[in-house]
Chains A and B, each alone.
Chain A
Amino acid sequence: KQEVTQIPAALSVPEGENLVLNCSFTDSAIYNLQWFRQDPGKGLTSLLLIQSSQREQTSGRLNASLDKSSGRSTLYIAASQPGDSATYLCAVPRGNRDDKIIFGKGTRLHILP
């Protein structure tokens, strides 16, 4: 059974620091892995999607890596800003199909001005 874990549940860092958010999953036979951002009272916004054949994806100050063999993904945020404050969630499909999606519980990030 696929399980997705995100540690820590909450994180506070000073503005300007580089930081890493972690996501681990128990079944390495994943189709892809997706990172989302959720602002309070809002829906989810897709940040990065890494296909199973890829090892990383980059978008601006964000870089997501994928290591299927160890069941881990990291989201690296460079030069953090107060506007990065949000909850970050990772999600993987259950099994090697792309229909049923399992989400981690998220890391609540607070960037201190």
Chain B
Amino acid sequence: DIQMTQSPSSVSASVGDRVTITCRASQGISNWLAWYQQKPGKAPKFLIYTASSLQSGVPSRFSGSGSGTDFTLTISSLQPEDFATYYCQQTYSFPLTFGGGTKVEIK
């Protein structure tokens, strides 16, 4: 199985801040990586696929990059509705595996 490691596990930030979350795969996955946002009590929301492609309707302040084993999710200017937990997921092969999550909290 491909292991996914996210860091940090939590980050405190203010509205307007730039936030970067990293995700590392235990082996090369090309660009087959997805990102999700989850708010308390809600299902995850699909944000990004193939490492850098924004899902329809996702604000442009979200961006993704990376290839191989190292990936990043960046929120360029944090908005109040962005406080949530973010998960990466490798979509290269079954079994699909998620990172442990990064909680973005209000500073």
Task: Say whether A and B bind each other.
Answer: no
B interface list, Cβ under 8 A from A: none
